[in-house]
Amino acid sequence: MNPVLEIKSIFYNYGPIQALKEVSFHVNKGEIVTMLGANGAGKTTLLKTISGLKKPSQGQILFNNNDISAWPPEKIVQKRLIHVPEHRQVFSTLTVTDNLYLGAFHHYKKSGKKEINDLIEKVFVLFPILKERKDQLAGTLSGGQQQMLAIARALMAKPDLLLLDEPSLGLAPLIVKEVLLYVKNLRDEFGITVLLIEQNVNASLKIADRGYVMSQGSIVKEGTSAELLNDVEVREAFLGQTVN
């Protein structure tokens, strides 16, 4: 196995509250790994800590064998670890195309305009609706289209690892399936490794290779997607199934 990301016994505190407690796990190259847990389990804090928005009080974060625990977010982005936060957060007053250009900001000068435009066309192949809306202001897109734009903007940064926080949040069930299919295609067609937080546990386990379960800031369970889908505690806690 070739770990892209290794988390080694990290802790994070909000004042006296311990939000992350000795969290350790790994993500191998080419995997989709999902992180499950109830609201308040520490999942979003974990992603923010990995992407440099928060600094762990203890432990190590290794990305492609580099210790990034103390790195600022902009340096982490330059190394192609890209975080798509919850609630989409597109630049609403800019067009779809301008949002995509901003996704390539950190490598724009090095890559050049032609390569950036070629990358935009590749993104449009994956998200054809965005090509149709390329001159439209991002704030006027539907919720599902804004989520697609947020993911597409992240692709413009050429990620080795993509952190996705609740990509289906607030979307209609039909759109949820569509967005998660796009997430699967990121790995299958673009070769991008994905660490996913997703409220739709059943759907996320169906596209993921492996998963971890968080509770009160700690990882309490791990396994393949099939193992977690068949786990009695997971089925009762997250899938609403009573198992006798």
Q: Is 203 a member of any domain?
A: yes
Q: Is 107 left (phi over 0), alpha (psi -120 to 50) or beta?
A: alpha
Instruction: Give the DSSP letter of residue 139.
Output: G
Structural domain containing residue 182: 3-87+160-238
| pLDDT block averages, 10 residues each, the chain of length 244 | 92 92 97 93 96 96 97 95 90 96 85 88 92 96 92 93 90 82 87 92 92 95 95 80 52
What pLDDT, on a 0 to 100 scale, did the predictor assign at position 240?
Answer: 62
Question: Could you give phi then psi for residue 72, rounded to 5 degrees?
Answer: -75, 155
Q: How far is the C-alpha of 60 from the C-alpha of 206, rounded, in Å?
A: 30
pLDDT at 130: 95
Please report whether residue 43 resides in a domain: yes
pLDDT at 239: 65
Output the six-digit token pair for 145.
């289209």
153 belongs to a structural domain: no
Structural domains in the chain (count): 1
Q: Is residue 234 part of a domain?
A: yes
Question: Domain containing 40 — which CATH number?
Answer: 3.40.50.300
Residue 124 lies in a domain: no
Q: Is residue 141 part of a domain?
A: no
**What Cα–Cα distance (Å) separates residue 146 from each residue in 68, 129, 149, 167, 183?**
30, 11, 5, 10, 14
Closest CA to 170 of 87, 84, 47: 87
Q: What is the pLDDT of residue 242?
A: 53
Helix (H) or strand (E) holding 213: strand 210-215
CA–CA distance, 31 with 203 (Å, rounded to integer): 16
Q: Parallel, antiparallel, or unpaired: how do β-strands 193-197 and 161-165 relate?
A: parallel
| Cα-based distances in Å from 50 to 10, 43, 56, 95, 103 | 10, 11, 9, 29, 19
pTM, to two decimals:
0.91
Tally Cβ neighbours within 10 Å of residue 151. 24
Separation of alpha carbons 173 and 39, rounded Å = 20
Contact 59, 7 (CB under 8 A): yes
Q: Tell which residue, 79, 134, 70, 78, has the closest CA to residue 105.
A: 78
Does a structural domain hold residue 217? yes
Residue 14, in any domain of the structure = yes
Cβ neighbours of residue 91 closer than 8 Å, sequence gap 6 or more: 98, 99, 102, 138
